[in-house]
Amino acid sequence: MGKNKALLPFASSPTLTQFQLGRFQNHFKKVYISCKDRNIFDFDGDFIEDFYKDISSPIVALYSVLKSLDEKVVAILSVDTPFVSKEVYEKLLDFIDSNQAVIPDYHPLCGVYKRDILPVLEEMIKENRHSLKELFEKIDVKKVKFSDEKEFENLNFYHEYEEALKSFKYY
């Protein structure tokens, strides 16, 4: 995209990060922001910085979040998926008891993960393996189908961001 998505203004929020925080703060006990460097944000929040600053990887981010928190189960949402609803998490949480991770069929960074996958993540990082697909081959994961794939669209390109802004112009 050429810009840090997390810092782009979105709807009535100064940043996409603050937009996501605002949507989910009333639905979870606590909402954290996973990032490489909390100093890029000019607002207060509960930040979890990646333990490995030199590696950009969803495996490192997931590891850092799970290692930092004492919670047995953590819900994860990537900042660039502004259409995901709280109902998605309600459905995912229905399946977590018998699985180590529950994800939508369309977007693995919108999911629910158990802390007990930490040893697998540690091993993968030590071996310089950063594929979510490989992680899902090593743990008990349930993929849940949802009828609305649009809900899981992420903003990878600037034109996608502009289209998403139009959807939220009245918020």
pLDDT tens digits for range 129-155: 999 999 999 999 999 999 888 889 889
User: Which pLDDT tens digit goes with each residue over 8-51?
Assistant: 999 989 999 999 999 999 889 899 999 999 999 999 999 999 99
Q: Tell me, what's the pLDDT at 169?
A: 58
For residues 7 and 158, what is the distance between their CA atoms, to the nearest angstrom? 13
| Predicted TM-score of the model (pTM) | 0.90
Fold of 5-167: Spore Coat Polysaccharide Biosynthesis Protein SpsA; Chain A (3.90.550)
CA distance 37 to 102: 28
**What pLDDT does 52 receive?**
87
Give 103's pLDDT tier (boundaries 50, 70, 90).
very high
Contact at 8 Å (CB) between 111 and 102? yes
Query: Please, are residues 50 and 34 in contact by the beta-carbon 8 Å criterion?
Result: yes
Domain ranges of the chain: 5-167
Q: Note the pLDDT of residue 107.
A: 86
Strands (E), the chain: 33-35, 47-49, 73-77, 101-104, 110-114, 141-144
pLDDT of 76:
94
